[in-house]
Structure formats: structure tokens, C-alpha cells
């Protein structure tokens, strides 16, 4: 059994000499506990959230290679002004990789664990950039027959985020949604889910070609923030949909504030008498990403019934509880080839993740590149 | 009965010719319904929240007087760039005055109403800058024997706001508070309540003399935002108190963001392992005022467990429910001469509120002036 299986795990280390070091570490595959299984990781995507942990604030153009061809070591400089940002991880060799899929090759003694032997499962929880991952059986998502590991590799981060947004909307009493950076992979997925569920979605994009993508996917409300008529267009869409909840992937700049302001304008249209404290319609923006790194600016001209805050999938799932999470996962499993399908621009081996051309390519993720790591290759 | 009583009510009107007009309107005092009483208003304060409705964005230096000595009319220009802010109140002659106190001079037929006849009561709900106010009996706060109308005039806005902050802290699971503009009348009241209730309060002020005021009132944690060591001082106070909720009266600028950032630094001190999403300690800032009119700037370096939002007493009371509100009011009534005492720099008649020297004086409210209107004078 796995006792003599050798694992290879990608590690990211921030060192005191202002460098980031990426390497492959050989570790032993543990004996699975009664409730655990060992999964041979076959496919694991490089998400923006993975890159943040993998590369931190390192200057990729300074990356250099050492070590051996089979055990390469990549070193890159971290500008000293960014060292404070990573103080908390200094000296810790951290495994990387939020989600993935593979085949269960060994199982503990429990019924739940042995039932998964030989099955293809999806996983989340870190440490996925590795040949093997030891998992609690109940945390494995058994993929439907005929679904490959590659098709199940992105079964968690984007699908659960999208469903989490919709569940948040319901739990907090809103009736429609606003989404920024809406032409992203995640945005397209949210658009599909909202169409399926009959939820009105106001899609905010920055470019004409992004409008076209969403139009071709059947989106009904698309507002271009680069347009002169953006505020007017957005307000009209908010009036039509009654959306009072937005998820913002950009974080910085004025967009979140503009959304709240347009929501207030839309709400004020149905007020029958003047209230200098503004409408009592509650308006919320959750920030879940930071595509725009500039400071966030609020012009609070939207009364007192508003909120802004961070939104993180793991925090949402903790609040939502296990049963809700299981329901969401089941829905994802049935839609992995349709609603929740992901597409990759390139497949690479674990070894190749540490080659300089690849690392330079990661930076292009924002423009639509998405890599899939194949640790068994 | 009051059928032939003439009321005099202060009105504020924004007109299409870009002017604001203040006047005294003669209206009839209505016959009270079964559950209503007529209160002769004897004392009503000029709060910052009243001034916003009274004067709007008018340029006070342009104020001019017309009308007669007994029915003066004040007219002031509104800079055209501000007309959009007041579009919703255009052409509406609005009564003013959030709170006040007086004697019940007539009552409807219900037991609750007749029981108040001749009593001194505190009130809130607008339209207080008037000789008389018709009120629901159950909305009147009967003042303890020996408490004058002047002592009860400010029984609502500041005391209920302060208690609302403490109740919000409890309801949302925080254990200590941060308050900005902490040397204000409201801030001093909050300091007294927190000392009474054994709640740790971090007081943020801008000036050395404000530090002195709070020190003399027994405040334990005082941080001066003008000091070079502000971030260090605030973080230390947050570590000591565990405060994760702040009420911010300034609104604009960077202060709210700095508070969240220091809260995150304090929370991170007790984290045992690195989490690139930040701590999972939830941090909240509620904005309840706008002393700083500049845009609000957030540097979101505090993970994903944070929220910012508007806080308004009326919204809080609606959520808290009638029973909680009654409890809070009862506490205020017993503390009007101590914990919840207000002090005034000047008493003026209803007629005098429309004299130019007084109107120019209102602008000094921010520096500690507080006027009390005496409508029966």
C-alpha cells in the first residue's frame, strides 16, 4: 500500500533574503486513516487564487533556475517594499493548489472510504500541486460516470463561488444580482446559472468585445463601464431588475461606489416622500477580487442603508453549513460538462510548472489563459 | 379644546430659483385622535442632523431677511452645483426638528392618552420646531418627576444613538468598541455609558485638548489620529480591548480604512498559521456621520472578513423592535440628569431661529455650540 509511494509536492517559500523559492519536495505518502483516501492527482488548474500563493509579490522577470532537471528550483526576487505583505509566511515552505481531481488509489477501513476505491473524485483544500493527496473521504466529490479528471479538476473554486453568490443573494433577501468583470470564466458561469435559475443578472464589463461574449451567451443586461452612458445604463438595468446586491471582482477604484450610487438612484424612484437620510432599501457590494489594485474610493451619496465588505468562499461555506454545501456540490457534479465546464489553454506536467517560460505565462492568466497541471504526466 | 389653538411651525423650502426659504407657518392644531396627545413644545435642540434639513446646502453668507418682524422670511442662495442634492425636496415646505420635550395639554379618549395629561414628555419624530406637536401617546417618553422639558429635550437622538451603538455591538457579537470624533457630546455620552456597562471603548480624537477632555472623564483608551504614533497606538489599544467594531462620525478620508487595517494587524497577532486571505476575525466599521466631506478611501489590506456600511438610528430601531426600544428609552429617562445630560450654549425663541445672527451661529455647532429652541417663549 502507499507506504512506499513517493509523493512529489510543489512548494513555495519566501526567504529572509527577499527571494521567493519554488521547488518540488519529495515526501512520503501517508497511510490513510480509517476515513481517508489517497488520490492520485491527475488534473489541477492554476487559478488566480493559486498564483497569489505560488508567486506572491515576486518580480517574475527576475526568475532564475537552479537545481537539477528533475528537481528544478526557481528563485525570484521580491521587491523589499512588498516583504511586509508576506511577513506572515516567511520561512514556511508552503504547498500550493486549491483544487483538483484524480483517482482514489488507496482507502482507509471505513465504508465511506472503501466505497471510493477506483473512483474519479474532485477535491479542494490545498496541496493539490502534487502526485498524491490524502483526503477525508467525505470531502471527495465523486464525479458522475463518464466524467474525466480533467473535466472535474475545476469543480470547486469557480462553481462553488458562483453558487455561493446566488445563495448569498437568497439568504440576504435580494432578488437580483450585479457582477463586475462579468465576461471572466467565473462571470460566464454565473450567467449560465442565473439563466438556469431565472435570476436577473446585471453584467458589468469594460470592453466592447466582452459585451459581445456575454450577448452571445444570452445575457440580457450588459453595461460597459467605459461607456459615457454607463451610469444611465446601469441605473436603468437596476430599475428593471431590482438588483440590490453586487459582487465586485475589481476591488479598487470607484466602481463599487458607483454601483451603490446607481442602486440608490433606482431605489429613490419609488420613494413617495423626501427623506434626507436616503432610501431605506438596503444596498450591498461584496468585494471578492482585486483586479484593480488602486485604492477603493467611496463617494457616500447613497444614504445610510448600504454595506460593503469582503466575500470569501470559505467563509460563506462555513456560515452556510455542511448540508447546503453538499447540495451545491451535487449540483456542480451534474453540470461539470455544461453549466460548470471550464476550458484550458494548455496542459503541463508538474515538472513543467517550474520552467521559466511557463512561469512567465502564468501572468497572462488575466487575459484568458488558463493552465491545467497534470501531475501524473 | 385645541380646535382653536393656532400652531406656529418652522418650515424649510427649496425653490426652483436656487434658493432656500425659511419661514414660520401658521397652521391649525389638529383634534387629537383617541391614541394621540397634543404637546406644547417647550424645548427642542438644534442638532447637526436638524441643520442638514433646515439649511440644506445653502450658502449661509447670502442669507437675507424679508417678511414682517413677527413672520420673518429668510432666503439664502443654493449654489447651483448643489441643487441636484436637494432635487427630491424641491417645492416641498418641510417641517423641521427631530426631538423635543414639553407638556401634554390635550389628549384623545384612550387610557394611554389621558394618562399623560399635564405630564412633561420627551418626543422624537420631526416637526418639533413648533409651538405644538400632535403625537401618538405611546411614542411619548414620560419624564421622571422633577425633570424639566429643557432637561428632556435631547432625550432621543444622542442617547438612543449611544445605546444603539452598544446594542449593535452586542447583537453582532463584538466585545468592545471604537469611536471616532470621540470628544463630541455624543462621544462623551458613549464614554459614560461604556464605563457604566463595563465595555472597553477606544476613543479616537484629532487634538490634544480632546484627549484631555476624555482623560478627565475617565476614558482609558484615547488615540490621537494627528499623532505620528497613531497606527501603533490604535493597534495596541485594539490588542488590549479586542474591539472589532467601530462607529465613525467622520465618514470621509482614510480613517475608517486605517481602523480596519489596525484591527486586522491586531487579529493577525493571534494567528498560528499563514493564511493569505487574512484573518477570519470579522471587522466592521459603521459610518454614522460625515464630519469629513472628502471621499472615503479604502486600502483593502485587511483580508476578506470585513464590512463597512451606513448606520442610522431609525434603521437600527426598526430592526431592534419595540420592546428593545422601550427598554432603551426607560434607561434614558432615568439618566437624563447624569449619563444622558446635554448642555446648551444658548436658548432662543422660535422667532429668533429666523434671525440672521442666529443662523450664522448655527455653523459653529461643530465647535461645541449647541442651541436650544424654546417655542413657548
Q: Is A276 exposed, middle or buried (0-12, 13-18, 19+ CB in 10 A)?
A: middle
Angle between helices A185-197 and A208-216 (to 10 degrees): 40
Tell me the three state secondary structure of residue A234: helix
Q: Which of B164, B274, B284, B318 to mutate to test the interface with A (most CBs of A within 10 A)?
A: B274
CA distance B289 to chain A (A): 9
Nearest to B308 among A52, A307, A312 (CB): A307
Q: How far apart are the first and last CA of chain A?
A: 21
Contact B93, B22 (CB under 8 A): no
Q: How would residue A364 be classed by pLDDT, with cut points 50, 70 and 90?
A: low
pLDDT of residue B365: 61
Question: Phi and psi at residue A118, in whole multiples of 5°?
Answer: 85, -5
Q: Which ranges of chain A would DSSP assign to H, the alpha helix?
A: 48-55, 111-114, 149-152, 157-171, 185-197, 208-216, 230-241, 255-268, 313-320, 322-334, 356-362
Closest alpha carbon within chain A to B95? A274
Q: Which residue has the cell 465523486?
A: A142
The count of residues in chain B is 377
Burial B345-375 (b: 16+ CB within 10 A, else e): eeebebbbbbeeebbebbeebeeeebbbbbb
Q: How would residue B359 be classed by pLDDT, with cut points 50, 70 and 90?
A: confident
Instruction: List, for residues A16-53, the tens digit of each pLDDT value.
Output: 999 999 999 999 999 999 999 999 999 999 988 898 89
Cα separation, A63 vs B4, whole angstroms: 89
Closest alpha carbon to A224 in A214, A235, A211: A211
- Calculate the alpha carbon distances from B265 to A88, A94, B260, B301 in Å: 11, 22, 9, 10
pLDDT of residue B104: 98
Residues of A whose CB is below 8 A from B94: 274
CA distance A16 to chain B (A): 16
Closest alpha carbon within chain B to A308? B308
Residues of B whose CB is below 8 A from A94: 274
pLDDT of residue B366: 56
- Calculate the alpha carbon distances from A143 to A211, A325, B40, B211, B272 in Å: 33, 16, 75, 63, 35
pLDDT of residue A14: 97
Q: Is the pLDDT of residue A360 over 90?
A: no
Instruction: List, for residues B76-109, the tens digit of each pLDDT value.
Output: 999 998 998 888 899 999 999 999 999 999 999 9
Are the Cβ atoms of A276 and B310 closer than 8 angstroms?
no
CA distance A18 to chain B (A): 18
Half-sphere exposure of B28 (CA within 13 A, CB side): 7
Max distance between CA atoms of chain B, in angstroms, equals: 75
Q: Which of B165, B261, B295 to mutate to test the interface with A (most CBs of A within 10 A)?
A: B295
B87 touches chain A (CB under 8 A): no
Q: Read off the pLDDT of each residue in A245-271 and give the average, rounded to a whole number.
A: 95
B249 touches chain A (CB under 8 A): no
CA distance B206 to chain A (A): 22
- Calculate the alpha carbon distances from A230 to A226, A250, A256, A262 in Å: 7, 16, 13, 10
Instruction: List, for residues B38-69, the tens digit of each pLDDT value.
Output: 999 999 999 888 988 999 999 999 999 999 99
Cα separation, B76 vs B51, whole angstroms: 14
Cα separation, B173 vs B51, whole angstroms: 34
Average pLDDT score, chain A: 94
Residues of A whose CB is below 8 A from B272: none
Q: Which of B304, B305, B314, B318 to mutate to test the interface with A (most CBs of A within 10 A)?
A: B304
Residues of A whose CB is below 8 A from B274: 88-89, 92, 94
Percent of chain B with pLDDT over 90: 85
Closest alpha carbon to B290 in B312, B273, B272, B307: B312
Closest alpha carbon within chain A to B298? A296
Q: Which triple of cell numbers denotes residue A301?
A: 451619496
Q: How would residue B276 be classed by pLDDT, with cut points 50, 70 and 90?
A: confident
For strands A177-180 and A245-248, give the pairing: parallel
Cα separation, B155 vs B149, whole angstroms: 10
Q: Is the pLDDT of residue B177 over 90?
A: yes
Q: Which residue has the cell 451567451?
A: A217
pLDDT of residue A84: 84
Half-sphere exposure of B326 (CA within 13 A, CB side): 5
Cα separation, A278 vs A298, whole angstroms: 16
Cα separation, A354 vs B21, whole angstroms: 73
Average pLDDT score, chain B: 94
CA distance A307 to chain B (A): 4
Nearest to A88 among B52, B274, B309 (CB): B274
Are the Cβ atoms of B299 and A295 closer than 8 angstroms?
yes
Cα separation, A122 vs A318, whole angstroms: 19
Q: Which residue has the cell 470585513?
A: B306
B327 touches chain A (CB under 8 A): no
Instruction: List, for residues A52-77, the tens digit of each pLDDT value.
Output: 899 999 999 999 999 999 999 999 99
Cα separation, B184 vs B48, whole angstroms: 12
A94 touches chain B (CB under 8 A): yes
B197, B201, B204, B210 alpha-carbon torsion, rounded to 10°: 50
Closest alpha carbon within chain B to A307? B309
> Ramachandran region of residue A198, left (φ > 0), alpha (ψ -120 to 50) or beta?
left
Q: Read off the pLDDT of each residue in B117-141 and give the average, rounded to a whole number.
A: 96
Write the DSSP symbol of residue A318.
H
Q: Read off the pLDDT of each residue in B294-305 and give the average, rounded to a whole number.
A: 94
Q: Which triple of cell numbers denotes residue B195?
A: 464605563
For strands B64-67 and B19-28, give the pairing: unpaired
* DSSP per-residue letters across B130-164: BSEEEEEGGG-EEPPTT--HHHHTTSSHHHHHHHH
Contact B58, B156 (CB under 8 A): no
Percent helix, percent strand, percent coil in chain A, to nearest 5? 35, 30, 35
For strands A371-374 and A346-349, give the pairing: parallel
A145 touches chain B (CB under 8 A): no
Amino acid at each position: 500500500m502507499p507506504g512506499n509511494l513517493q509523493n512529489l509536492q510543489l512548494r513555495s517559500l519566501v526567504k529572509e533574503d527577499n527571494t521567493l523559492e519554488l521547488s518540488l519536495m519529495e515526501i512520503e505518502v501517508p497511510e490513510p486513516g480509517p476515513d481517508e483516501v489517497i488520490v492520485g492527482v491527475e488534473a489541477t488548474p492554476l487559478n488566480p487564487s493559486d498564483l497569489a500563493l505560488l508567486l506572491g509579490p515576486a518580480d517574475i522577470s527576475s526568475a532564475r533556475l537552479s537545481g537539477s532537471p528533475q528537481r528544478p528550483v526557481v528563485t525570484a526576487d521580491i521587491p523589499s517594499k512588498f516583504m511586509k505583505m508576506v511577513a506572515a509566511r516567511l520561512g514556511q515552505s508552503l504547498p500550493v493548489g486549491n483544487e483538483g481531481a484524480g483517482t482514489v488509489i488507496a482507502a482507509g477501513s471505513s465504508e465511506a472510504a472503501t466505497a471510493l476505491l477506483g473512483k474519479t473524485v474532485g477535491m479542494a483544500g490545498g496541496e493539490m500541486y502534487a502526485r498524491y493527496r490524502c483526503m477525508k473521504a467525505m470531502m471527495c466529490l465523486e464525479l458522475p460516470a463518464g466524467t474525466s479528471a480533467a473535466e472535474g479538476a475545476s469543480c470547486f473554486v469557480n462553481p462553488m463561488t458562483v453558487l455561493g453568490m446566488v445563495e448569498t443573494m437568497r439568504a440576504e433577501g435580494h432578488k437580483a444580482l450585479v457582477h463586475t468583470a462579468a465576461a471572466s470564466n467565473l462571470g460566464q458561469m454565473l450567467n449560465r446559472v442565473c439563466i438556469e435559475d431565472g435570476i436577473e443578472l446585471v453584467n458589468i464589463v469594460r470592453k466592447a468585445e466582452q459585451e459581445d461574449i456575454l450577448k452571445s451567451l444570452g445575457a440580457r443586461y450588459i453595461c460597459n463601464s467605459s461607456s459615457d452612458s454607463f451610469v444611465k445604463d446601469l441605473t436603468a438595468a437596476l430599475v428593471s431588475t431590482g438588483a440590490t446586491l453586487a459582487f465586485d471582482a475589481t476591488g479598487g477604484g470607484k466602481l463599487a461606489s458607483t454601483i451603490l450610487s446607481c442602486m440608490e438612484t433606482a431605489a429613490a424612484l419609488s420613494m413617495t416622500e423626501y427623506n434626507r437620510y436616503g432610501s431605506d432599501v438596503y444596498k450591498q457590494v461584496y468585494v471578492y477580487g482585486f483586479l484593480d489594485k488602486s485604492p477603493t474610493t467611496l463617494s457616500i451619496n447613497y444614504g445610510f442603508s448600504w454595506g460593503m465588505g469582503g466575500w470569501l468562499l470559505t467563509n460563506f461555506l462555513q456560515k452556510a453549513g455542511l448540508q447546503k454545501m453538499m447540495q451545491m456540490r451535487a449540483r456542480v457534479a451534474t453540470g461539470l460538462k455544461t453549466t460548470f465546464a471550464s476550458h484550458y489553454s494548455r496542459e503541463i506536467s508538474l515538472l513543467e510548472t517550474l520552467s521559466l517560460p511557463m512561469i512567465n505565462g502564468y501572468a497572462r492568466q488575466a487575459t484568458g489563459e488558463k493552465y491545467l497541471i497534470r501531475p501524473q504526466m
